[in-house]
Structure 1
Amino acid sequence: MSALDIRWIRDDASLAQQCRDWKQLPYLALDTEFMRVDTFYPGAGLVQVGDGERAWLIDPLLIRDWTPFAEVLEAPSVVKVFHACGEDLEVFQRLTGSLPQPLFDTQLAAAYLGMAHSMGYSKLVLEMLGLDLPKDETRSDWLQRPLTDMQVRYAAEDVQHLAEVYVKLAPRLPEHKLAWLLADGADLVANQTRVSDPREAWRDVKLAWKLAPQQLAVLREVCAWREEQARLRNQPRNRILREQTLWPLARLQPKDKQALARIDEMHPRTVRQDGDTLLALLAHAAALPAEQWPEPLPEPLPREVTPLLKRLREVGQREAERQGMAPELMLRKKILEALLKSGYPDGPYRLPDSLQGWRRELMGQALLDCLAAPENP
């Protein structure tokens, strides 16, 4: 690694020039370093690009025009290689307004080849390249300038090894698995594209199903305000309003600051800074007419479905064995629960829309057959 060619990009003209060359390549390895200690959005500290021979380090604190890089991200002929790309996608969307397609995630690729699911990057590099990576710089300050020599080397080597892992992994994937992997990559991008609607945030609150429709209307307004303020102020949601306060606020609907302060887990700072706003919001939401209340949420599945869930999961495990893949890739618990909720306890059952593509094709009918079959005595 001593011969690794590291090149900095610190201005718009250099980035534009390099992007013209990148668009001609078959693949690019991509990574980011960012800080997210007390902000809602990640603060990009570095963008790394590798082609297997050299590593480019883009300084996002100096780049103003990301348009040429967005074109690279969207170029259909250039495969964009990541490892566990979730937060990287958020960084790229914030910086460039674009997302990478086609996307090849090496963590997913390893699972498609029967290696461990959700394998960490260091472990994958050790398994594929026989290299034991130091992780000393993972938690360092990537917004400081200048970066240390250790930080620069760490960042460059990360993207270099990612390219080397891709070159070894990709040929091992049969054509149909590569297509499945790229479809999963497209799903990751689609999920990132769907910027969550603040007015839907209430659906994720624990125990929301226990609330009456009028209380759900209050919960919806409080959660939407919290989400919007977190984005506006660029602060974590829990700094705006703690998660544990949402349900009791909707249930108890305090009318004054004393009652507000008595809500479990309510931070005094929130009462001071936003108490009047919250009380006005609660009063407004509580007065909404019944036709504007949400529908009640369905109760969670009862404990008795556990054996049935296990049988459904076995459908995915059997298919995983046939395909030589990590079983966790096959059927997510949320999909199985949605399937059960469509008809439990007596049916008929309907495959949920979230079961798509090759998974629906390979396992959809088997899941329905499993539910139709009498339970083993």
Structure 2
Amino acid sequence: MAIDINWIRDDASLAQHCATWQKLPFVVLDTEFVRVDTFYPLAGLVQVGDGSAAWLIDPLLIGDWAPFAALLENPAVVKVLHACSEDLEVFERLVGALPTPLFDTQLAAAYLNLGFSMGYSRLVQEVLGVELPKGETRSDWLQRPLSPTQLSYAAEDVLHLAELYEALLPRLSAEKNAWLLEDGEELLANQRRVTPPEEAYKDAKLAWKLAPQQLAVLRALCIWREREARARNQPRNRVLRENSLWPLARFQPDNLVSLARIDDMHPRTVRQDGEFILALIKEAAALPPQEWPEPLPEPLPPEASGVLKKLRAVGQREAERLDMAPELMLRKKTLEALLKSGFPAGPYQLPESLRGWRRELMGQALLDTLAGQTPGVQA
């Protein structure tokens, strides 16, 4: 079918449309971007739908995003997206605002037990019986003019997203809809939560295996890598590969030949930043013991896996009772944090990451399971 393409290519037109959208109960949003060798996504297109039409905003021509930011932050207009974590990054970078309240149709599918982490095409097929054309997701969205195929793909995306929302919303109970919007707030909080460069070493692979003096080196390397990636607008792995961090901290090379032999070390990194990395390692390795980081906690031992299984069963029981996708209930990281708070003998503490309805419905049952009791069925 032929789709009307409505372009927004200047600030006045964007402001005018935003004023209209501010009066709607919901808008659907999507973005197309390129992120091949940059740290930040480069926006190529922003799509908006209202349930009857699709608009394509050309971000290469817009200078004033304030009216759009006001729309994104208007609590009276629900923002509908699908699997939106990357879109959130685009909006934050491009507009300086995030869409709230946020209704993610991928989450809605999990709440209705249609499937977990469902791709957009599959969900459209499942709910609307429409087969979407493939093949444009990875095309160059910064080129101008965009091809007719790209344009129809981008417009069709938001037209179907509005239909999806209107089909899924009535199937959600008021309770589930409230939980879904709560999860949307959590997604926004995660996007706003930036790990300080000084803390990045704690997430590095196998960091727990390093002694405090080696951790001092790892911390210095991670701080530099994080800051450089942002400053150069390059992916972290382009600055220094993830798999090189641990051996660098462990073996602490002191010359370019040894540096080049480090696992997964890219020759370009040795050429471009080798001398600086060696100086950084030397300086961090020479720090006095009182400036070394604390040792990092070890992963849970193998014998914890049986307990983890029992904890997961708490979530599975609730998922069955509520007819929701079991993967939606309790995240592995949350259960591991709970176990680490007191394994093997307790006492255990519910982690901060177990929040909202999940804490309310399952918190006590998890603690009861750890205490060896049979969790009571919660109403």
TM-score by length of 2: 0.97
Q: Does 1:194 align with 2:227?
A: no
Answer yes or no: is the 8 Å Cα contact 1:221–1:281 preserved in 2.
Answer: yes
Q: How far 1:195 moved relative to its partner?
A: 1.9
- For residues 316-371 of structure 1, give each alpha carbon's deviation from its aligned partner in whole angstroms, at most 9, with x where no partner exists: 00000111100000000000000110110111111111100100000000000001
SS of corresponding position for 1:92 = helix
What residue in structure 1 maps to residue 111 of structure 2? 112
What residue in structure 2 maps to residue 210 of structure 1? 209
Q: How far 1:90 moved relative to its partner?
A: 0.2
Counterparts of residues 246-325 of structure 1 (less than 5 Å): 246-325=245-324
- In 1: Cα distance, 2:24 partner to 2:290 partner: 56
Counterparts of residues 55-134 of structure 1 (less than 5 Å): 55-134=54-133
- In 1: Cα distance, 2:34 partner to 2:348 partner: 45
- For residues 120-141 of structure 1, give each alpha carbon's deviation from its aligned partner in whole angstroms, at most 9, with x where no partner exists: 1001101111100011212211
SS of corresponding position for 1:5 = coil
What residue in structure 1 maps to residue 146 of structure 2? 147
Q: How far 1:196 moved relative to its partner?
A: 2.3
What residue in structure 2 maps to residue 368 of structure 1? 367
What residue in structure 1 maps to residue 181 of structure 2? 182
Q: How far 1:279 moved relative to its partner?
A: 1.3
- For residues 181-227 of structure 1, give each alpha carbon's deviation from its aligned partner in whole angstroms, at most 9, with x where no partner exists: 00000000010011221111111111111101111111011011111
- In 1: Cα distance, 2:48 partner to 2:363 partner: 39
- For residues 88-131 of structure 1, give each alpha carbon's deviation from its aligned partner in whole angstroms, at most 9, with x where no partner exists: 00000000111010000000001101111001100110111110
Answer yes or no: is the 8 Å Cα contact 1:201–1:223 preserved in 2.
Answer: yes
Kindly report structure 1 stretches of 4+ aligned residues shifted beyond 6 Å. none
- In 1: Cα distance, 2:373 partner to 2:167 partner: 46
- For residues 11-62 of structure 1, give each alpha carbon's deviation from its aligned partner in whole angstroms, at most 9, with x where no partner exists: 1111111111111111000000011111111111100000011100000111
- In 1: Cα distance, 2:146 partner to 2:263 partner: 43
- In 2: Cα distance, 1:69 partner to 1:126 partner: 31
- In 2: Cα distance, 1:191 partner to 1:333 partner: 17
Answer yes or no: is the 8 Å Cα contact 1:40–1:235 preserved in 2.
Answer: yes
Q: Does 1:43 align with 2:69?
A: no
Q: How far 1:177 moved relative to its partner?
A: 0.6
- In 1: Cα distance, 2:25 partner to 2:89 partner: 24
Q: Which amino acid aligns with 1:79?
A: V
- For residues 291-337 of structure 1, give each alpha carbon's deviation from its aligned partner in whole angstroms, at most 9, with x where no partner exists: 22111011111111111111100000000011110000000000000
- In 1: Cα distance, 2:232 partner to 2:74 partner: 34
- In 1: Cα distance, 2:111 partner to 2:66 partner: 34
Q: How far 1:254 moved relative to its partner?
A: 1.3
Q: How far 1:289 moved relative to its partner?
A: 2.1
Given the superposition, is the C-alpha separation of residues 125 and 276 from structure 1 closer, same or farther in structure 2, using an over 3 Å criterion?
same
SS of corresponding position for 1:144 = coil
- In 2: Cα distance, 1:197 partner to 1:28 partner: 34
What residue in structure 2 maps to residue 34 of structure 1? 33
- In 1: Cα distance, 2:83 partner to 2:147 partner: 25
Q: Which amino acid aligns with 2:185?
A: A
- In 2: Cα distance, 1:196 partner to 1:89 partner: 17
- In 1: Cα distance, 2:52 partner to 2:288 partner: 64
Q: How far 1:374 moved relative to its partner?
A: 6.8
- In 1: Cα distance, 2:181 partner to 2:42 partner: 28
TM-score by length of 1: 0.97
- In 2: Cα distance, 1:374 partner to 1:45 partner: 55
Q: Which amino acid aligns with 2:43?
A: A
Q: Which amino acid aligns with 2:207?
A: A
Given the superposition, is the C-alpha separation of residues 374 and 172 from structure 1 closer, same or farther in structure 2, using an over 3 Å criterion?
closer
Q: Which deviates more, 16-25 or 79-88?
A: 16-25
- For residues 253-284 of structure 1, give each alpha carbon's deviation from its aligned partner in whole angstroms, at most 9, with x where no partner exists: 11121221121211111111101111111122
- In 1: Cα distance, 2:78 partner to 2:170 partner: 14
- In 1: Cα distance, 2:263 partner to 2:112 partner: 48
Q: Which amino acid aligns with 2:244?
A: T
Q: How far 1:5 moved relative to its partner?
A: 3.5
- In 2: Cα distance, 1:222 partner to 1:285 partner: 9
- In 2: Cα distance, 1:127 partner to 1:244 partner: 40
Aligned CA-pair RMSD:
1.1
Answer yes or no: is the 8 Å Cα contact 1:230–1:240 preserved in 2.
Answer: yes
Q: Which amino acid aligns with 2:45?
A: L
Q: Does 1:235 align with 2:234?
A: yes
- In 2: Cα distance, 1:323 partner to 1:293 partner: 48
- For residues 228-252 of structure 1, give each alpha carbon's deviation from its aligned partner in whole angstroms, at most 9, with x where no partner exists: 1111111111111111110011111
Answer yes or no: is the 8 Å Cα contact 1:211–1:296 preserved in 2.
Answer: yes
What residue in structure 1 maps to residue 353 of structure 2? 354
Gaps of 5+ in 1: none
- In 1: Cα distance, 2:90 partner to 2:193 partner: 15
SS of corresponding position for 2:5 = strand
- In 2: Cα distance, 1:33 partner to 1:99 partner: 16
Percent identical among aligned pairs is: 72
Given the superposition, is the C-alpha separation of residues 203 and 92 from structure 1 closer, same or farther in structure 2, using an over 3 Å criterion?
same
Q: Which amino acid aligns with 1:5?
A: D
Q: Which amino acid aligns with 1:211?
A: L
Gaps of 5+ in 2: 375-379
